[in-house]
Structure 1
Amino acid sequence: MKFLVLVSASVALVVAVLVLNPDHQWRWSLWRSPVADLVVRNAKIYTSDESLPFADSMAVRNGRVLRVGNYSSVQMQDMVGYRTKELDLMGKIVVPGFIDSHVHLIFGGLQMGRVELRGISQKEEFLKRVKEAVRNTKQGSWILGGGWNNDFWGGEFPAASWIDNITPYNPVWLSRMDGHMGLANSVALKLAGITNSSEDPIGGTIMKTTSGEPTGLLIDSAMKLLLPSIPEVSVEERREAMLRASNHALMRGVTTVVDFGRYFPGASVRQSWEDFSDVYQWADSSGRMVIRVCLFFPLETWSRLHHLVNKVGRTLSQWIYLGGVKAFADGSLGSNSALFYEPYADEPHNYGLQVTDNESLFNLTLASDKVGLQVAIHAIGDKANDLILNMYESVFSTNGVRNRRFRIEHAQHLAPETPARFGELGIVASVQPEHLLDDAESATKKLGIDRAHKGSYLFKSLLAGNGQLALGSDFPVSDINPLGGIKTAMKRIPPGWDTAWIPTERLSLNEALKGYTLSAARACFLDSDLGSLSPGKLADFVILSTDSWDDVVAEESASVEATYVGGVQAYP
């Protein structure tokens, strides 16, 4: 009788553990029935796991990696049952699902359906795109779009006078590729009440002619003067944009993104929260999510995020993670608003802009850190990066030691001693390799050859100083394209160049792959579930079109053949 009571109690305890802990449910299922749902074999699997960097087969069950190893082993063959799907890849390369460490997913999805000016290299083509948009837009409606880069046509900034005669009945707003500057036509300026008597807001600039007339260009915080005049995008449009961008990400092998929302200097801080509730929670509850997202919210709203994390935890579902909070230190190089110690070579009196004052930035970061939130701050110029590193160090000394994984987004231009400080302080450098393709020419013009060569995109120096690199795209500033980013990080050859820009800063293939996988997962506290093909982790992986690692870095040689999320094919 005592034996039966003991057995009954043991069974009850096991059931209780399984009900209360889903992770134990998964481990119980392995012990009870180790047959795989899917076995990938005859592949070149890069695991991103240092304990077993490469394998030729992988077993998946219930959306997670069951085992990785050699298919000829008894343990792997024992995983195959009559319901197991076997995938013979004939030697093709498999990598963990790519993690894009910095995107604006919904904003990018919206831009995909607007006036596309990315890559335009002539004023005539710029005007042609706007004319086409006018033909397809009714009078009085806003014409929106962007992606232009004035460096592609010699550096001259566009002006309202370029487009006023072809847009007499439509307000226009076309953002620069970096999101820190935009062009408005005269109709839009009038709607926003921007005139020659309008003064620059703190952290922003209204560009004016020598006679004091607005040119149509608004930089950083000055965009706040106009953006409220643009009608808010409908919930349906935002949902469509998210789905459009998510499917685009899958096509490029991206299974997880770190989304910083539609939040940039001048944007409404409420938008990130509206997108969270109206778009992401809707998609999750209705089964429409296809990639995983880690969300960051405006630093000013830290208490709201803290309340939500306390209520539901950081993991809302298998699709949505609550990351942390984000702020801005400066603008961008292309808009001449990144903050530097020395002035711009082409504007001797301009040192850039600090878009958030030191006191409020410190106090908000300190408060966020006290409640355990991860903080990420945008910094481009060398002075802006040092300013944030100094502030982070002060926060650490005030609040004490712990595993924070604070981030600096972009970290593009650094003073000579700065890369080592990232490692000393444990700061993540969240960088975007493809930006250097656009900046190589302009950095030389704006900073001078010596400054640009010594301090720009110091990827290898950051790693040498024990810093952590997380790689991404900043979509839609650059396209979501990890394979392109890997090539760029390794080669650093801008368009039209025969040699690498600062070749000593090139990454190895392994370093670049880690930046899009395990390091990217660590940078947002997701490395227990993502970033490597290790037993127990989510089975997100990508099949490439080649069996050669040389093809991965060759031009136009390798592509994404299929993307799997949770062991299920999601693309194509």
Structure 2
Amino acid sequence: MGRYLFTGGKVYTASGRRPFCQAIACVGKRVIAAGSESEVAAMVDDSFERIDLAGRALVPAFTDSHIHLAHYAMSLANVELDGSSGPEEVAARVARAVESARPGSWIVGQGWNKNTWPGGALPDRSYLDAVAQRNPVALFSKDLHSLWVNTAALRIAGIGLDTPNPEGGEIVRDDDNRQATGILKEAATALIRRVIPEPACEAMAAAIEKAQSELHKLGIGAVHNMDGAASFEALQLLRNTGRLKIRVTQSIAKDNLDDAIDLGLSSGFGDEWLRVGPLKAFADGALGSQTAHLLRPYEGNSRNAGLAVASKEEMAELVGKAVLAGISCAIHAIGDRANRDVLDIFESVKAESAQRRLRHRVEHAQLLHPEDVRRFADLGVVASMQPVHILTDIPVAERYWGRRSRWAYAFRSLSKSGAMLAFGSDAPVETPDPIRGIYAAVARKQLDGTPDSGWYPEERMTVEETIRAYTAGAAMASADELTRGTLARGSFADMTILSRDIFSTPAAEILDVRVAATVIAGQFVFREGI
């Protein structure tokens, strides 16, 4: 059992009564004291290992409030396409993967982004057919809402001239011959996903085990997992074999809701390592694919206002069913129309939700109409957001949302209204690195430091407010605030030590901050230079 005393730095407890102190001590998996050095010294003896923070900041371990854990884990071994300059470079990367692949095996990758390519046009299957005739290829876009495949993949999925668009999705076709181009959007991606062989449970568990070590290096001690049943099965295997070293709140996919209800599962069931969380469902698409559902059409395209993945009536029925079963809801909504519709639905179940103490969430909440900002606080709905998207979304939002971007990533406005914020990454869409997320929320600039004055700087957050959203806010979102997200007597000893005092670090230097150590349940799971 570890016994540690940390002194000599800035301790951020994320507690409203005493957010900062000088020292903290833990025994086993719990914090026993946090306060001044003299106060905490009175609670320890010579058996404690004394660790000098040497001016560093110690904060509650970060929580990633929105991560696709299995996708992130598997992405570490897939073809990485982020940063590719165009379809030609993507094809070259796929060609290298084909060289070492068995004939007939799937080539899977992710990260291509047409919005950063010259011209910004969607690619087609001809690029992939040229380098992969014997291997089916499936490449997820950066936002995971579009899929680019080759002819072999279309053939395996049985997608032909007569295949209809599924509800809430699109098989993109050539205007002249109606042939599938190789691009599938939103719900249509399921036509390919279902024929890609899933890894065995042990293989997925091993990938997640490796991924959790990477997350520890980033100071992350807990995640809210937005992947589905196969991921949950692998996590249970890790938990049952003592290999799960990160706290997981597991969402329930829409397709699994009836099974969860039949089993009598409700949000909060589980233990300190693995718990059942909210229903996860989609109201719309994404900015990158121009499928986020908007109140007005996209700039430059009067025929496109995005895509409702499910009708408002269907979503209301789904949410109502979950609430009656004691299951909270986390609904993906990016466009201002989708956010308004989801807030309307949450308003319709406000009384029933309060009776069951359910906290609902809007996942992403990227673009809001100003009239809807206050509704998050009024309804007690969590804004589960990912600041790291700002690093790549600024030019895309300006291009497609125009002046509406004033209300994109409206962190400050939501916070001032009293809304609860919980921050995450959406990995593998973006890096899970919280330091980059903190920089994005505080500076509201791209990695190159532009724009100089920040993108709508009136929506900037302070470092403390941002870290609170990665810690205490995240714990509130999953109803874990009694034991997680803050550092107080009796809370779990989940802590991250940073390389410097981030609270006094200029915004431009935040990206230089590194994680020096991560402690989960009173044990070092990552330690470097301390």
TM-score (norm 1): 0.88
For 1:66, the equivalent position in structure 2 comes to 32
For 1:451, the equivalent position in structure 2 comes to 404
The Cα shift of 1:347 comes to 2.7
| Amino acid aligned to 2:278 | G
Distance 2:249 2:262 in 1: 17
Distance 1:315 1:90 in 2: 40
After TM superposition, the structure 1 = structure 2 runs for residues 82-101 of structure 1, keeping only pairs within 5 Å, are 82-101=46-65
Preserved contact between residue 100 and residue 516 of structure 1 (Cα < 8 Å): yes
Preserved contact between residue 36 and residue 59 of structure 1 (Cα < 8 Å): no
Q: Does residue 520 of structure 2 align to residue 568 of structure 1?
A: no
2:235 to 265, 277, 280: 280
For 1:265, the equivalent position in structure 2 comes to none
After TM superposition, the structure 1 = structure 2 runs for residues 37-56 of structure 1, keeping only pairs within 5 Å, are 37-56=3-22
Distance 1:418 1:364 in 2: 22
The Cα shift of 1:54 comes to 1.3
Distance 1:216 1:124 in 2: 15
Q: Does residue 197 of structure 2 align to residue 245 of structure 1?
A: no
| Amino acid aligned to 1:144 | V
Q: Does residue 484 of structure 2 align to residue 525 of structure 1?
A: no
The Cα shift of 1:41 comes to 1.5
2:131 to 156, 160, 166: 166
Distance 2:72 2:7 in 1: 36
For 2:187, the equivalent position in structure 1 comes to 221
- When structure 1 is superposed on structure 2, of 424-433 and 205-214 the one drifting more is 205-214
For 2:260, the equivalent position in structure 1 comes to 305
Distance 2:237 2:446 in 1: 41
The Cα shift of 1:399 comes to 6.3
Aligned-pair identity in percent equals: 35
| Amino acid aligned to 2:359 | R
1:53-83: CA deviations, max 9, x gaps? Answer: 111111111311100012234xx22333342
| Amino acid aligned to 2:70 | I
1:301-355: CA deviations, max 9, x gaps? Answer: 33433455659x8352321121121111011111111111111224321111111
Distance 1:475 1:94 in 2: 24
| Cα distance, 1:495–1:400 mapped onto 2, change above 3 Å | closer
Preserved contact between residue 300 and residue 364 of structure 1 (Cα < 8 Å): no
| Cα distance, 1:473–1:36 mapped onto 2, change above 3 Å | closer
The Cα shift of 1:36 comes to 8.3
Distance 2:384 2:392 in 1: 18
Q: Does residue 142 of structure 2 align to residue 177 of structure 1?
A: yes
| Cα distance, 1:182–1:99 mapped onto 2, change above 3 Å | same
Unaligned runs of 5+ in 1: 1-34, 262-271
Cα-Cα RMSD: 1.9
For 2:457, the equivalent position in structure 1 comes to 503
| Amino acid aligned to 2:518 | T
The Cα shift of 1:93 comes to 1.0
Distance 1:459 1:90 in 2: 32
Distance 2:201 2:148 in 1: 26
Q: Does residue 503 of structure 2 align to residue 543 of structure 1?
A: no
For 1:492, the equivalent position in structure 2 comes to 444
1:57 to 23, 41, 65: 23
Distance 2:492 2:261 in 1: 26
Any idea what SS the aligned residue of 1:241 has? Answer: helix
Distance 1:86 1:398 in 2: 49
Preserved contact between residue 46 and residue 53 of structure 1 (Cα < 8 Å): yes
Q: Does residue 417 of structure 2 align to residue 465 of structure 1?
A: yes
| Cα distance, 1:80–1:540 mapped onto 2, change above 3 Å | same
Preserved contact between residue 353 and residue 359 of structure 2 (Cα < 8 Å): no
1:525-572: CA deviations, max 9, x gaps? Answer: 011110111111001001111145343741542100100001110013
Distance 2:235 2:506 in 1: 33
For 1:195, the equivalent position in structure 2 comes to 160
Preserved contact between residue 258 and residue 293 of structure 1 (Cα < 8 Å): yes
Distance 1:318 1:120 in 2: 40
Larger radius of gyration: 1
1:333-387: CA deviations, max 9, x gaps? Answer: 1111111111122432111111112233212211211232111100011100001
Q: Does residue 44 of structure 2 align to residue 80 of structure 1?
A: yes
| Cα distance, 1:522–1:309 mapped onto 2, change above 3 Å | farther
Distance 1:381 1:351 in 2: 9
Any idea what SS the aligned residue of 2:326 has? Answer: coil
| Amino acid aligned to 1:197 | D
1:175-224: CA deviations, max 9, x gaps? Answer: 00111101001111122121233221110011112212211000011112
Equivalent pairs, count: 522
Preserved contact between residue 464 and residue 503 of structure 2 (Cα < 8 Å): no
Any idea what SS the aligned residue of 2:11 has? Answer: strand
The Cα shift of 1:398 comes to 6.2
Any idea what SS the aligned residue of 2:37 has? Answer: coil
Any idea what SS the aligned residue of 1:72 has? Answer: helix
Distance 2:498 2:161 in 1: 55
Any idea what SS the aligned residue of 1:95 has? Answer: strand
Preserved contact between residue 36 and residue 81 of structure 1 (Cα < 8 Å): no
| Cα distance, 1:336–1:55 mapped onto 2, change above 3 Å | same
Preserved contact between residue 463 and residue 502 of structure 2 (Cα < 8 Å): no
Distance 1:225 1:302 in 2: 21
After TM superposition, the structure 1 = structure 2 runs for residues 54-453 of structure 1, keeping only pairs within 5 Å, are 54-73=20-39, 76-154=40-118, 155-211=120-176, 212-261=178-227, 272-277=228-233, 279-306=234-261, 314-397=268-351, 403-447=357-401, 449-452=402-405
Preserved contact between residue 143 and residue 172 of structure 1 (Cα < 8 Å): yes
Preserved contact between residue 60 and residue 66 of structure 1 (Cα < 8 Å): yes
Distance 1:322 1:399 in 2: 17
Preserved contact between residue 195 and residue 214 of structure 1 (Cα < 8 Å): yes
The Cα shift of 1:51 comes to 1.5
Unaligned runs of 5+ in 2: none
| Amino acid aligned to 2:396 | S
Distance 2:131 2:100 in 1: 13
Distance 1:461 1:151 in 2: 28
